[in-house]
Amino acid sequence: MLDIAYEEFERLEEQIKDSEISDREEFLDMWQFEDEYSHNHIEENQDAFMKMANEYFEENNLPYEAKLGCENIVVVPIKDNKNQ
């Protein structure tokens, strides 16, 4: 079940639509959800969110990338990734 992935993806879409996305935005933080969900469930949702977000960025020609951070998914501008 990808319930939290879809919920977080809606939050991402809203932030982009409202131009409220920062240079480093965090989604699906393990600590935020671990009281309600197992780590396996959260990791499955993190993987799904990362895939959905990156497909969305590519389809809409948006200069962002979603990648695995420390216990979460981070969305960063692509230009920053090339400098790392």
Written as one string, the DSSP assignment of 22-51 is -SSEEES-HHHHTTTS-HHHHHHHHHHHHH
pLDDT value of position 45: 96
Q: Please give the C-alpha separations between residue 33 and each of 14, 48, 59, 69, in angstroms, as whole numbers.
A: 21, 15, 29, 16
Q: How far apart are CA 22 and CA 58, in angstroms?
A: 18
pLDDT value of position 81: 44
Compute the C-alpha angle 56/2/62, nearest 5°: 10
> What total of structural domains would you count in the chain?
1
pLDDT value of position 31: 94
User: What residues make up the domain containing 41?
Assistant: 3-82
pTM > 0.85: yes or no: yes
The first and second tokens of residue 28, run together, are 């699906």
pLDDT tens digits along 6-63: 999 999 999 999 998 888 999 999 999 999 999 999 999 999 999 999 999 999 999 9
pLDDT value of position 69: 93
